Amino acid sequence: MGTSIQNIRGFSDVLPDEGPIWRFVEDTFRHELERYGYAEIRLPIVEKTELFSRSIGEVTDIVEKEMYTFTDRNGDSLTLRPEGTAGCVRAALQRGLLHNARPRLWYAGPMFRHERPQKGRYRQFHQVGAEAFGVSGPELDAELILLSGRILRALGIDGLRLELNNLGTIEARRRYRAALIEHLQAHEGWLDDDARRRLHTNPLRILDTKNPQMAEVIRTAPDLGDYLDETSRQHFHDLRAMLDAAGQPYTANSRLVRGLDYYGGTVFEWISDSLGAQGTVLAGGRYDILVEMMGGRPTPAIGFAAGLERLVALVEAAGSAPAAPSVHAALVAVDEDLQADTVALAESLRDRLPWLRLQLPIGGGSMKSQLRRADRSGAALALIRGAEESAAGEIIIKDLRGDAEQYAVAIERLPEILSPLEST
Ligand code: HAM
């Protein structure tokens, strides 16, 4: 016997009562991104596996253990996208969007990572991402970071902090990596299994550990800031001056390394303390080497992506999303014989008043139960059709939210009666 569908649990649903918050978050992103000249690009959810392993990095957590990878009927290895940057760069490169222009692109949609689910961490989650190409100066970093701050403010979320770092050039990171490995090896007895495993593959990620046993080893580790090359140091300095001038507070955190290999130079994260361990709501940085790595001309680039589930949780807690609009009116037919006629009347009202949100408590039942359904729909008015009134070309208007007496009017006057509801 098969398992009941009811017992099959997989990925999360977004239920109707959460819809308005999701829409508010998505609309806010779209609105602000468009104000800064970003154009939407819609990208496939499935890509060749190689795209991700080569760009995100073979020894990152994502590629090593989190990708949903399968072989299709042609024998090609495909992967459900774990993030959007790789696909966005691929599309921009293949479609010639990078030349003769300085494109600014944004995208939204589901991403997939086979992580251990917990609060704020899901196997299918949603991101809005933004990517800007062709400018290497810190003014682009500053504008992108200020844009992300503006979006988060527009969402009405308080208490987020901005952390900022510069990862330097590949050469600077190589020197730092060697010094870090040396330090970690000298304290090998304190390292946990995960750190031992990463020691020679991805030692910078060890700095991200949450294991208290390693706190002291991490605290005394060499500082990436001391290894920065002169150009990166100047870039970081100029970026900080620009954020200061714009009044944007931040914390410089030389331990902020990010989990994807394509980063170099500026990296940043917006973090909330009220989401537990998964507090990063928006994160990004420069990836000046990626376009060239993927076969294009050297093209500097920077971007970010935000995790929508985490932002929705914060917006819900802040109560900053506007409530979903309820229907303006419900049209109730008391008499079964009037049903066909009532459906036609509803259609003609919808034709004449394009703003009108009108619900038919379809399914009949007594007048009382229909009115109960009309009330639950949130409608301001019930429009009641009785046999007598219909014969006289009239309809009854009942105020569902106040205690005004109900009254009958000529059906032709309905648009006039309903018009004050347009602004609600
Ligand atoms: P990321 O840090 O891997 O960066 O993800 C960005 C954001 O997506 C995270 O800060 C978090 O809010 C959300 N997120 C990631 N994984 C999950 C999950 N399993 N469940 C819920 N939310 C999650 C990137 O993806 C880069 N592509 C960002 C970027 C764009 N850098 C440059 N351009």
Q: What is the mean pLDDT of the chain?
A: 93
Q: Which of the listed residues 22, 33, 124, 125 should we mutate to test ligand 1's pocket, taking the one with most ligand atoms within 8 A of CB?
A: 125
Tell me how far the alpha carbon of residue 81 lies from the centroid of ligand 1, in angstroms. Answer: 12
Q: What is the pLDDT of residues 53-68, one digit of tens each?
A: 999 998 888 999 999 9
| Domain 19-168+228-318 and domain 329-423 have a common topology | no
Q: What is the pLDDT of residues 307-337, one digit of tens each?
A: 999 999 999 999 999 988 899 999 998 877 7
Rounded to a whole number of angstroms, the CA Rg of the chain reads 28
> Tokens at residue 346, please?
């509803």
Q: Residue 398: CB within 6 Å of ligand 1?
A: no
> Tokens at residue 26, please?
């998505």
DSSP string, 247-283: T---EE-TT---S-TT--SEEEEEEESSSTT--EEEE
Closest atom of ligand 1 relative to the 121 alpha carbon: 20
Helix, coil or strand: residue 406? coil
- 1 pLDDT higher than 60: no
Which is higher by pLDDT, 113 or 370? 113
Q: Could you tell me if 331 and 385 are in contact, meaning their C-beta atoms sit under 8 angstroms apart?
A: yes
Question: Residue 332 is inside which H or E element, if any?
Answer: strand 329-333
Q: What is the pLDDT of residues 153-169, one digit of tens each?
A: 999 998 999 999 999 99
Q: Could you tell me if 360 and 398 are in contact, meaning their C-beta atoms sit under 8 angstroms apart?
A: no
Tell me how far the alpha carbon of residue 283 lies from the centroid of ligand 1, in angstroms. Answer: 6
Q: Residue 321: CB within 6 Å of ligand 1?
A: no
Round to whole Å and give the CA distance between 223 and 253. Answer: 10
Q: Residue 57: CB within 6 Å of ligand 1?
A: no
Q: Residue 203: CB within 6 Å of ligand 1?
A: no
Round to whole Å and give the CA distance between 403 and 391. Answer: 27
pLDDT at 8: 66
Protein residue with its CA nearest to atom 9 in ligand 1: 307
DSSP string, 49-82: HHHHHHHH-TTSHIIIII-EEEE-TTS-EEEE-S
Q: Residue 281: CB within 6 Å of ligand 1?
A: yes
Protein residue with its CA nearest to atom 11 in ligand 1: 307
Q: What is the pLDDT of residues 84-120, one digit of tens each?
A: 999 999 999 999 999 878 899 999 999 999 998 888 9
Q: Could you tell me if 306 and 272 are in contact, meaning their C-beta atoms sit under 8 angstroms apart?
A: no
Round to whole Å and give the CA distance between 374 and 332. Answer: 8
Round to whole Å and give the CA distance between 166 and 233. Answer: 8
Q: Residue 121: CB within 6 Å of ligand 1?
A: yes
At the top level of CATH, the class of 19-168+228-318 is alpha beta
Q: Could you tell me if 268 and 283 are in contact, meaning their C-beta atoms sit under 8 angstroms apart?
A: yes
Q: What is the pLDDT of residues 175-231, one digit of tens each?
A: 999 999 999 999 999 999 989 998 988 899 899 888 899 999 999 999 999 999 999
Strand order in the sheet with 68-71: 46-48, 77-80, 68-71
Angle at 296 between CA 292 and CA 301, to 5 degrees: 60
Residues in the chain: 424
Q: Residue 386: CB within 6 Å of ligand 1?
A: no
Tell me how far the alpha carbon of residue 123 lies from the centroid of ligand 1, in angstroms. Answer: 12
Tell me how far the alpha carbon of residue 83 lies from the centroid of ligand 1, in angstroms. Answer: 7
Instruction: Say if strands 104-112 and 124-133 run parallel, antiparallel, or are unpaired.
Output: antiparallel
Tell me how far the alpha carbon of residue 60 lies from the centroid of ligand 1, in angstroms. Answer: 14
Burial 338-365 (b: 16+ CB within 10 A, else e): beeebeebbeebeeebeebbbbbbeeee
pLDDT at 340: 81
Protein residue with its CA nearest to atom 17 in ligand 1: 121
pLDDT at 114: 95
Which is higher by pLDDT, 2 or 280? 280
Closest atom of ligand 1 relative to the 86 alpha carbon: 27
Q: Nearest to residue 146, comparing CAs of 135, 162, 157, 168?
A: 162
> Does the domain at residues 329-423 carry the CATH identifier 3.40.50.920?
no
Q: Residue 115: CB within 6 Å of ligand 1?
A: yes
Round to whole Å and give the CA distance between 4 and 97. Answer: 48
Q: Could you tell me if 136 and 182 are in contact, meaning their C-beta atoms sit under 8 angstroms apart?
A: no
Query: Strand runs (DSSP E) across 134-192, as ranges?
Result: 160-166
Give the residue extent of every domain in the chain.
19-168+228-318, 329-423
